[in-house]
Amino acid sequence: MSKALVASFLLVYFSGALVSATTDKVVCYWGTWSTYRWGNGRFTVDHIDPYLCTHIIYSFVGLQADGNVRHLDEYLDVDAGTIAKLNALKVKNPNLKTLIAIGGWNEGSETYSQVAADAAKRATFIKSALNLVQKWGFDGFDLDWEYPGQRGGAAADIQNYATLIKEFREVWDQHGLLLTAAVAAAGPSVDLSYHVPSLSKYLDFINVMAYDLHGSWESVTGQNAPLYASSIDVEGSQKLLNVDASIRGWIERGADPGKLVLGLGVYGRSFTLASASNNKLGAPIVAGGDAGRYTGERGMMGYNEIVEAQNAGGWTTVWDDEQKTPYMYKGNQWVGYDNPKSIAIKVQYAKSLNLAGVMIWSIETDDFNGLSGTKYQILNAINAALKSDEIPPEPVPTPEPQPTQTTESEPTQASEQPTESSTTQKPQTTKTPESGNESDGVCTKEGIVRDPSDCSVYYTCVSDGSKLVSIQRKCNHGLVYDLELNICNYPQVVQC
């Protein structure tokens, strides 16, 4: 081998090693409403391991029409001290960075569109966000507008969003703060929403939500986050609905790979098959799959719920080698998801493109209780893959699952099924800050109880270790609590 060839090899090797070393971010979103879930699904700040994530993003706050930032759950954020407790984790791990996210699916697009179009309101927005971040000791702010130019937004949103981010950057640089955003993955949505070079220039990093690429809004089974296209993806649009096409699309549109963070879904998309005997990828469906026992949303299951289901037995798991993801089925239920093996492959993929790192949506649906035998199985797989090129073997379900409670699941609100990134924010209800106790006479067991005198009001009954306490909540938008479906539903279809 010539000296020139050796020198070239060493240059490529060490350059690659140095660049690959920048693929080190592990960005963890936390959907804080998981505090109100029950049993093995309940997740509080005390469950967070501050060493598994490089960045934790508290989700979400909202935006008022005048541009001011607002708390969506002031009791949880402030009165219960959750924000303060999250930022206190930096005492344990001084290298941890915390951000707070604004937006999410339920916040919609209209208010963001109107604020972004008005210079005075943009200034109010930036000042209000700065006050929030500085007051609570966050290291940065995450923009999760879903999505500019869509869902009631305007065509001008693309430019206005770029202007908003530029103005944020000018202020943020004065204070040494991080500015990030969660963005749509698929090319057609990107073209409607973003001027990619501007986002790449002004954001510290870009969290690409490369999941919800298929789901029960379609007519057949599909993987939540396939790495590559399947051989059954014959149309051009179908070939865009995978992680590889999404990430390469962002790069082709002008994004710096070193600012892209690959989003990983810590959950699966579930389906109810039209026929239990036809259980392959692309099989016809009639609806979303059964709701997870903790997330309570048809058409999806948290990874922790998937582990519990597998532990209970009866599921057949199939590895989809084309798309590098597994799926499982049992009877008429079908779930496409990610496991430690597919996650590790995606981490290696991110490293191969010298991306900034990976992101998870979301930490509270990882196996944080260790029902698989390993606490935080997905996050541990991510961290291991960042340090190694090895791919872990298929996980084996734990034969004897830990006992779980059998009370009702946490409710969701009725909503239309989105076509992308619905899990960026689970539908919320409004909770009042007062918690009850045994003397209320409301709670007899953990679960959900509807108010006998007002069907729009219900109570989440949880144990504080010594007694049952009730947390009053209220359905929004004229909805009432549906005892049969365990959701906030339309009054005309609920017996009240």
Please, which residues bridge with residue 248 across strands? none
Same domain, 53 and 176: yes
Query: What would the two tokens of residue 407 be?
Result: 């009370």
Domain that holds residue 454: 447-489
Across the range 234-258, mean pLDDT stands at 95
Would 62 be classed as within a structural domain?
yes
347, 369, 387: which is the final residue of a domain?
387
Same domain, 129 and 260: yes
pLDDT for 223 equals 98
- State what percent of residues in the chain have pLDDT above 70: 82
- What one-character-per-residue DSSP string does 293-359 give? TTT--TTEEEHHHHHHHHHHS--EEEEETTTTEEEEEETTEEEE---HHHHHHHHHHHHHTT-SEEE
Which residues are known catalytic residues?
146
The better pLDDT of the pair 457, 71 is held by 71
pLDDT for 390 equals 73
Instruction: Among 59-63, 152-156, 417-421, 492-496, name the one with the lowest average pLDDT.
Output: 417-421
pLDDT for 254 equals 97
pLDDT for 422 equals 37
Same domain, 462 and 358: no
Would 420 be classed as within a structural domain?
no
Across the range 470-479, mean pLDDT stands at 68
Please, which residues bridge with residue 300 across strands? 269
The pairing of strands 447-450 and 457-463 is antiparallel
The model scores a pTM over 0.85:
no
pLDDT for 4 equals 36
Same domain, 345 and 480: no
pLDDT for 449 equals 84
Strands (E), 176-266: 178-183, 205-208, 260-265
What is the C-alpha to C-alpha distance for residues 402 and 369, in angstroms, rounded to an integer? Answer: 10
CATH code, domain with 73 = 3.20.20.80
Would 79 be classed as within a structural domain?
yes
Across the range 23-36, mean pLDDT stands at 98
Would 226 be classed as within a structural domain?
yes
What is the C-alpha to C-alpha distance for residues 381 and 397, in angstroms, rounded to an integer? Answer: 16
Q: Is the pLDDT of residue 18 over 50?
A: no
**Alpha carbon distance, N-terminus to C-terminus of the chain:** 82
Would 98 be classed as within a structural domain?
yes
Q: Is the pLDDT of residue 283 over 70?
A: yes
Same domain, 356 and 457: no
Residue type present at position 185: A
What's the structural domain count of the chain? 2
Same domain, 342 and 481: no
How do residues 405-464 score in pLDDT, each as one tens digit? 333 333 333 333 333 333 333 333 333 333 344 435 788 887 778 888 888 888 777 665
Would 87 be classed as within a structural domain?
yes
Would 83 be classed as within a structural domain?
yes
CB under 8 Å, gap of 24 or more: what pairs does 456-462 form?
Answer: 456/480, 456/481, 456/488, 457/481, 458/411, 460/36, 460/38, 460/410, 462/36, 462/38, 462/42
Same domain, 344 and 476: no
Same domain, 346 and 206: yes
pLDDT for 425 equals 38
The better pLDDT of the pair 357, 481 is held by 357
> How much of the chain is helix, strand and coil, in % rounded to 5?
35, 25, 45
Q: Helix (H) and strand (E) counts for the chain? A: 12, 22
Would 234 be classed as within a structural domain?
yes
Q: Is the link from the previous residue into 490 a cis peptide, with omega within 30 of 0?
A: no
The better pLDDT of the pair 48, 10 is held by 48
The pairing of strands 333-336 and 267-273 is antiparallel
What is the C-alpha to C-alpha distance for residues 193 and 178, in angstroms, rounded to an integer? Answer: 22
pLDDT for 389 equals 77
Same domain, 59 and 141: yes
Across the range 236-257, mean pLDDT stands at 96
How do residues 84-140 score in pLDDT, each as one tens digit? 999 999 999 999 999 999 999 999 999 999 999 999 999 999 999 999 999 999 999
